Structure 1
Amino acid sequence: MNTERVEGLGLLVHDAARLMRRRFEESASGHGLSAAQWRLLVRLVKAEGVAQARLAALLEIEPISVSRLLDRMEEGGWIERRPDPSDRRVRTVFATDKSREAFAEVKGMASDIYDEALAGLSAEERRTLINGLRTLISNLSDGEGAGESCKTAAKEDVS
Protein backbone atom coordinates (compact mmCIF):
# COMPACT_ATOMS: atom_id res chain seq x y z
CA MET A 1 0.00 0.00 0.00
CA ASN A 2 1.14 3.54 -0.72
CA THR A 3 2.70 5.11 2.41
CA GLU A 4 1.19 8.51 1.63
CA ARG A 5 -2.30 6.99 1.64
CA VAL A 6 -1.68 5.25 4.97
CA GLU A 7 -0.61 8.51 6.61
CA GLY A 8 -3.54 10.32 5.03
CA LEU A 9 -6.02 7.77 6.34
CA GLY A 10 -5.17 8.40 9.98
CA LEU A 11 -5.39 12.16 9.56
CA LEU A 12 -8.69 11.94 7.69
CA VAL A 13 -10.31 9.67 10.29
CA HIS A 14 -9.00 11.83 13.14
CA ASP A 15 -10.09 15.12 11.54
CA ALA A 16 -13.55 13.78 10.66
CA ALA A 17 -14.08 12.57 14.24
CA ARG A 18 -12.74 15.82 15.70
CA LEU A 19 -14.97 18.01 13.52
CA MET A 20 -18.08 15.92 14.19
CA ARG A 21 -17.34 15.93 17.94
CA ARG A 22 -16.86 19.71 17.91
CA ARG A 23 -20.10 20.27 16.00
CA PHE A 24 -21.94 17.98 18.39
CA GLU A 25 -20.52 19.73 21.47
CA GLU A 26 -21.59 23.10 20.07
CA SER A 27 -25.11 21.83 19.41
CA ALA A 28 -25.54 19.99 22.71
CA SER A 29 -23.84 22.54 24.97
CA GLY A 30 -27.16 23.92 26.21
CA HIS A 31 -27.69 20.81 28.33
CA GLY A 32 -24.56 21.45 30.40
CA LEU A 33 -22.97 18.04 29.89
CA SER A 34 -19.42 17.41 28.70
CA ALA A 35 -18.65 15.23 25.68
CA ALA A 36 -17.58 12.42 28.04
CA GLN A 37 -20.87 12.68 29.94
CA TRP A 38 -22.83 12.56 26.67
CA ARG A 39 -20.94 9.43 25.58
CA LEU A 40 -21.77 7.83 28.90
CA LEU A 41 -25.40 8.89 28.64
CA VAL A 42 -25.75 7.41 25.15
CA ARG A 43 -24.46 4.06 26.44
CA LEU A 44 -26.89 4.16 29.37
CA VAL A 45 -29.96 5.03 27.35
CA LYS A 46 -29.22 2.15 24.98
CA ALA A 47 -28.38 -0.38 27.73
CA GLU A 48 -29.66 0.51 31.19
CA GLY A 49 -28.57 -1.23 34.33
CA VAL A 50 -24.92 -1.40 33.29
CA ALA A 51 -22.33 -1.94 36.00
CA GLN A 52 -19.92 0.95 36.55
CA ALA A 53 -16.94 -1.26 35.66
CA ARG A 54 -18.60 -2.26 32.38
CA LEU A 55 -19.22 1.41 31.54
CA ALA A 56 -15.53 2.12 32.06
CA ALA A 57 -14.64 -0.69 29.65
CA LEU A 58 -17.19 0.44 27.05
CA LEU A 59 -15.99 4.04 27.22
CA GLU A 60 -12.32 3.04 27.41
CA ILE A 61 -11.63 5.18 30.46
CA GLU A 62 -10.39 4.36 33.94
CA PRO A 63 -13.00 3.18 36.49
CA ILE A 64 -12.13 6.09 38.83
CA SER A 65 -12.84 8.54 35.99
CA VAL A 66 -16.21 6.90 35.36
CA SER A 67 -16.97 7.12 39.07
CA ARG A 68 -16.26 10.87 39.05
CA LEU A 69 -18.36 11.39 35.91
CA LEU A 70 -21.21 9.47 37.51
CA ASP A 71 -20.92 11.47 40.74
CA ARG A 72 -21.42 14.72 38.81
CA MET A 73 -24.20 13.27 36.68
CA GLU A 74 -26.01 11.87 39.71
CA GLU A 75 -25.81 15.27 41.44
CA GLY A 76 -27.36 16.82 38.32
CA GLY A 77 -30.20 14.29 38.21
CA TRP A 78 -28.98 12.67 34.97
CA ILE A 79 -28.41 9.15 36.30
CA GLU A 80 -29.36 6.91 39.19
CA ARG A 81 -27.11 4.26 40.77
CA ARG A 82 -28.54 1.14 42.36
CA PRO A 83 -27.01 -1.91 44.00
CA ASP A 84 -26.98 -4.99 41.76
CA PRO A 85 -29.56 -7.45 43.19
CA SER A 86 -27.22 -10.40 42.61
CA ASP A 87 -24.07 -8.73 43.98
CA ARG A 88 -24.47 -5.86 46.46
CA ARG A 89 -20.85 -4.77 45.88
CA VAL A 90 -21.67 -3.90 42.26
CA ARG A 91 -23.50 -0.67 41.44
CA THR A 92 -25.57 -0.52 38.29
CA VAL A 93 -26.35 2.73 36.52
CA PHE A 94 -29.68 3.84 35.06
CA ALA A 95 -30.72 6.83 32.98
CA THR A 96 -33.35 9.14 34.51
CA ASP A 97 -36.35 10.66 32.75
CA LYS A 98 -34.36 13.89 32.50
CA SER A 99 -31.57 12.16 30.59
CA ARG A 100 -33.96 10.24 28.33
CA GLU A 101 -35.68 13.49 27.33
CA ALA A 102 -32.35 15.21 26.65
CA PHE A 103 -31.16 12.18 24.68
CA ALA A 104 -34.22 12.29 22.43
CA GLU A 105 -33.59 15.97 21.73
CA VAL A 106 -29.88 15.56 21.13
CA LYS A 107 -30.43 12.50 18.95
CA GLY A 108 -32.20 14.80 16.49
CA MET A 109 -29.25 17.21 16.60
CA ALA A 110 -26.83 14.34 15.96
CA SER A 111 -28.90 13.24 12.98
CA ASP A 112 -28.64 16.75 11.53
CA ILE A 113 -24.86 16.71 12.04
CA TYR A 114 -24.59 13.31 10.31
CA ASP A 115 -26.67 14.63 7.41
CA GLU A 116 -24.35 17.62 7.13
CA ALA A 117 -21.23 15.44 7.32
CA LEU A 118 -22.53 13.00 4.71
CA ALA A 119 -23.90 15.63 2.32
CA GLY A 120 -22.83 14.92 -1.24
CA LEU A 121 -22.49 11.17 -0.70
CA SER A 122 -25.01 8.84 -2.34
CA ALA A 123 -26.76 6.17 -0.26
CA GLU A 124 -24.36 3.61 -1.74
CA GLU A 125 -21.32 5.73 -0.83
CA ARG A 126 -22.67 6.15 2.70
CA ARG A 127 -23.08 2.39 3.12
CA THR A 128 -19.59 1.82 1.73
CA LEU A 129 -18.12 4.38 4.14
CA ILE A 130 -19.86 2.85 7.18
CA ASN A 131 -18.91 -0.69 6.16
CA GLY A 132 -15.31 0.40 5.57
CA LEU A 133 -15.12 2.00 9.01
CA ARG A 134 -16.60 -1.14 10.59
CA THR A 135 -13.93 -3.23 8.88
CA LEU A 136 -11.20 -0.83 10.02
CA ILE A 137 -12.45 -1.05 13.62
CA SER A 138 -12.75 -4.82 13.45
CA ASN A 139 -9.24 -5.16 12.00
CA LEU A 140 -7.76 -3.10 14.83
CA SER A 141 -9.88 -4.18 17.78
CA ASP A 142 -8.08 -7.44 18.66
CA GLY A 143 -11.37 -8.72 20.09
CA GLU A 144 -11.42 -6.09 22.84
CA GLY A 145 -15.09 -5.18 22.56
CA ALA A 146 -14.90 -2.66 19.74
CA GLY A 147 -17.79 -4.58 18.26
CA GLU A 148 -20.04 -2.43 20.45
CA SER A 149 -19.46 0.63 18.30
CA CYS A 150 -19.82 -1.44 15.14
CA LYS A 151 -23.17 -2.78 16.34
CA THR A 152 -24.30 0.74 17.16
CA ALA A 153 -23.21 2.00 13.75
CA ALA A 154 -25.02 -0.90 12.11
CA LYS A 155 -28.29 0.34 13.62
CA GLU A 156 -27.81 3.91 12.39
CA ASP A 157 -29.65 4.93 9.25
CA VAL A 158 -26.97 6.19 6.89
CA SER A 159 -29.07 6.60 3.77
Structure 2
Amino acid sequence: MPADSWDDAFTHVLWRAQNAVHRTVQTALDELGVTATQAGLAVHLDQLGPLSAADLSRGFHIAPQSVGAALSRLEKIGWVQRRGHPIHRRVVLYELSSTGLEGVARGRALMAAVNEAATEILSDTELDGLVTGLRRVTTEIDGPDR
Protein backbone atom coordinates (compact mmCIF):
# COMPACT_ATOMS: atom_id res chain seq x y z
CA MET A 1 0.00 0.00 0.00
CA PRO A 2 1.83 3.13 -1.17
CA ALA A 3 1.87 6.14 1.14
CA ASP A 4 -0.04 9.21 -0.01
CA SER A 5 2.35 11.61 1.68
CA TRP A 6 5.77 11.75 3.23
CA ASP A 7 4.20 11.63 6.71
CA ASP A 8 2.34 8.42 5.89
CA ALA A 9 5.32 6.53 4.45
CA PHE A 10 6.48 3.45 6.35
CA THR A 11 9.99 4.82 6.74
CA HIS A 12 8.74 8.11 8.21
CA VAL A 13 6.31 6.45 10.61
CA LEU A 14 9.01 3.99 11.69
CA TRP A 15 11.49 6.85 12.20
CA ARG A 16 9.00 8.76 14.37
CA ALA A 17 8.20 5.65 16.42
CA GLN A 18 11.90 4.83 16.83
CA ASN A 19 12.62 8.37 18.03
CA ALA A 20 9.75 8.25 20.53
CA VAL A 21 10.86 4.89 21.91
CA HIS A 22 14.51 5.96 21.98
CA ARG A 23 13.66 9.08 24.03
CA THR A 24 11.72 6.91 26.48
CA VAL A 25 14.57 4.39 26.71
CA GLN A 26 17.14 7.12 27.28
CA THR A 27 15.05 8.76 29.98
CA ALA A 28 14.81 5.40 31.76
CA LEU A 29 18.58 4.83 31.45
CA ASP A 30 19.47 8.29 32.74
CA GLU A 31 19.54 6.95 36.31
CA LEU A 32 22.41 4.65 35.29
CA GLY A 33 24.37 7.36 33.53
CA VAL A 34 24.62 5.39 30.28
CA THR A 35 23.22 5.75 26.79
CA ALA A 36 21.13 3.15 25.01
CA THR A 37 24.17 2.17 22.93
CA GLN A 38 26.35 1.79 26.02
CA ALA A 39 23.73 -0.27 27.82
CA GLY A 40 23.18 -2.40 24.71
CA LEU A 41 26.88 -3.17 24.37
CA ALA A 42 27.05 -4.08 28.06
CA VAL A 43 24.07 -6.41 27.67
CA HIS A 44 25.76 -8.11 24.73
CA LEU A 45 28.98 -8.54 26.71
CA ASP A 46 26.86 -10.14 29.42
CA GLN A 47 25.20 -12.48 26.91
CA LEU A 48 28.23 -13.34 24.80
CA GLY A 49 31.20 -12.94 27.13
CA PRO A 50 34.36 -10.95 26.45
CA LEU A 51 34.55 -9.39 22.98
CA SER A 52 36.78 -6.95 21.15
CA ALA A 53 35.56 -3.57 20.00
CA ALA A 54 35.82 -4.86 16.42
CA ASP A 55 33.62 -7.87 17.27
CA LEU A 56 30.97 -5.57 18.73
CA SER A 57 31.16 -3.19 15.78
CA ARG A 58 30.83 -5.91 13.16
CA GLY A 59 28.31 -8.00 15.03
CA PHE A 60 25.87 -5.23 15.77
CA HIS A 61 26.36 -2.90 12.80
CA ILE A 62 27.62 0.00 14.92
CA ALA A 63 30.37 2.31 13.67
CA PRO A 64 33.77 1.44 15.19
CA GLN A 65 34.10 5.01 16.48
CA SER A 66 30.77 4.73 18.31
CA VAL A 67 31.76 1.41 19.85
CA GLY A 68 35.11 2.82 20.94
CA ALA A 69 33.50 5.86 22.54
CA ALA A 70 30.86 3.72 24.26
CA LEU A 71 33.43 1.27 25.63
CA SER A 72 35.62 4.14 26.85
CA ARG A 73 32.66 5.56 28.78
CA LEU A 74 31.79 2.12 30.20
CA GLU A 75 35.39 1.66 31.27
CA LYS A 76 35.47 5.10 32.88
CA ILE A 77 32.39 4.36 35.00
CA GLY A 78 33.72 0.92 35.94
CA TRP A 79 31.31 -1.26 33.96
CA VAL A 80 33.94 -2.90 31.75
CA GLN A 81 37.57 -3.82 32.01
CA ARG A 82 40.12 -4.68 29.37
CA ARG A 83 42.15 -7.83 29.11
CA GLY A 84 44.38 -9.35 26.49
CA HIS A 85 43.11 -12.03 24.14
CA PRO A 86 44.47 -15.42 25.24
CA ILE A 87 45.71 -16.27 21.72
CA HIS A 88 45.97 -13.01 19.77
CA ARG A 89 47.99 -10.84 22.14
CA ARG A 90 47.40 -7.65 20.16
CA VAL A 91 43.62 -7.94 20.49
CA VAL A 92 41.99 -6.26 23.49
CA LEU A 93 38.89 -7.91 24.92
CA TYR A 94 36.29 -6.10 26.99
CA GLU A 95 34.46 -7.86 29.79
CA LEU A 96 31.94 -6.75 32.36
CA SER A 97 33.07 -5.98 35.88
CA SER A 98 30.89 -6.68 38.93
CA THR A 99 29.69 -3.06 38.69
CA GLY A 100 28.83 -3.68 35.04
CA LEU A 101 26.90 -6.84 35.91
CA GLU A 102 24.86 -4.85 38.45
CA GLY A 103 24.29 -2.10 35.88
CA VAL A 104 23.16 -4.59 33.25
CA ALA A 105 20.72 -6.18 35.71
CA ARG A 106 19.22 -2.78 36.54
CA GLY A 107 19.21 -1.81 32.86
CA ARG A 108 17.31 -4.99 31.97
CA ALA A 109 14.68 -4.16 34.62
CA LEU A 110 14.35 -0.60 33.32
CA MET A 111 14.01 -1.81 29.73
CA ALA A 112 11.41 -4.40 30.74
CA ALA A 113 9.30 -1.57 32.18
CA VAL A 114 9.74 0.54 29.03
CA ASN A 115 8.90 -2.46 26.85
CA GLU A 116 5.77 -3.21 28.86
CA ALA A 117 4.56 0.40 28.65
CA ALA A 118 5.23 0.61 24.91
CA THR A 119 3.72 -2.74 24.00
CA GLU A 120 0.56 -2.45 26.08
CA ILE A 121 -0.56 0.16 23.52
CA LEU A 122 -0.99 -2.63 20.96
CA SER A 123 -3.12 -5.77 20.93
CA ASP A 124 -1.28 -9.09 21.01
CA THR A 125 -2.09 -9.62 17.33
CA GLU A 126 -0.82 -6.16 16.38
CA LEU A 127 2.34 -6.64 18.40
CA ASP A 128 3.07 -10.08 16.93
CA GLY A 129 2.56 -8.77 13.38
CA LEU A 130 4.70 -5.69 13.98
CA VAL A 131 7.58 -7.62 15.54
CA THR A 132 7.48 -10.23 12.77
CA GLY A 133 7.42 -7.58 10.05
CA LEU A 134 10.22 -5.51 11.57
CA ARG A 135 12.39 -8.60 11.98
CA ARG A 136 11.86 -9.40 8.29
CA VAL A 137 12.82 -5.86 7.26
CA THR A 138 15.92 -5.94 9.47
CA THR A 139 17.00 -9.39 8.28
CA GLU A 140 16.54 -8.42 4.64
CA ILE A 141 18.65 -5.27 5.06
CA ASP A 142 21.26 -6.36 7.65
CA GLY A 143 21.16 -10.13 7.51
CA PRO A 144 20.18 -12.50 10.29
CA ASP A 145 20.79 -11.76 13.97
CA ARG A 146 24.19 -12.68 15.21
Q: If the length of structure 2 is used for normalisation, what is the TM-score?
A: 0.86
The residue correspondences of 1:125-140 to structure 2 (distance < 5 A) are 125-140=126-141
Q: Residue type of the partner of 2:95?
A: F
Change (3 A) 1:120 1:68: closer
Alignment of 1:51-130 (within 5 A): 51-130=52-131
> Are 1:29 and 2:39 counterparts?
no
Instruction: Give the Cα–Cα distance (whole angstroms) in 2 for the partners of residues 69 and 120 of structure 1.
Output: 32
- 1:137-148 → structure 2 map (5 Å cutoff): 137-141=138-142, 143=143, 146-148=144-146
Aligned partner of 1:4 in structure 2 is 4
Change in CA separation of 1:66 and 1:140 when aligned onto 2, cut-off 3 Å: closer
126-135 vs 112-121, which moves further: 112-121
User: Secondary structure of the residue that 2:91 maps to in structure 1?
Assistant: strand
Which runs of 5 or more structure 2 residues have no equivalent in the other structure? Answer: none
The verdict on how the C-alpha distance between 1:125 and 1:76 changes in structure 2, with shifts beyond 3 A counting, is same
Which stretches of structure 1, 4 residues or longer, exceed 6 Å deviation after superposition?
Answer: none
Partner of 2:15: 14
2:3 and 2:10 in contact (8 A); partners too: no
Tell whether the 8 Å contact from 1:39 to 1:59 is kept in structure 2 after alignment. no
Contact 2:2–2:9 (8 Å) recurs in 1 = no
Report how far residue 83 of structure 1 moved: 0.7
Give the CA deviation at 1:5. 7.8
Give the unaligned 5+ runs of structure 1.
Answer: 149-159
RMSD: 2.1
Higher mean Cα deviation, 103-112 or 1-10?
A: 1-10
The answer (yes or no) to whether the contact 1:56–1:62 under 8 Å persists in 2 is yes
Percent of aligned pairs with the same amino acid: 26
Q: What secondary structure, in the 3-state scheme, does the structure 2 residue paired with 1:4 have?
A: coil
- Bigger shift: 131-140 or 1-10? 1-10
Separation in 2, partners of 1:64, 1:19 = 25
Task: Show CA shifts across 1:119-152 (max 9, x none).
Answer: 24232322221111111111222x3xx523xxxx
1:71, distance to aligned residue in structure 2 (A): 2.5
- Give the number of equivalent residue pairs: 145
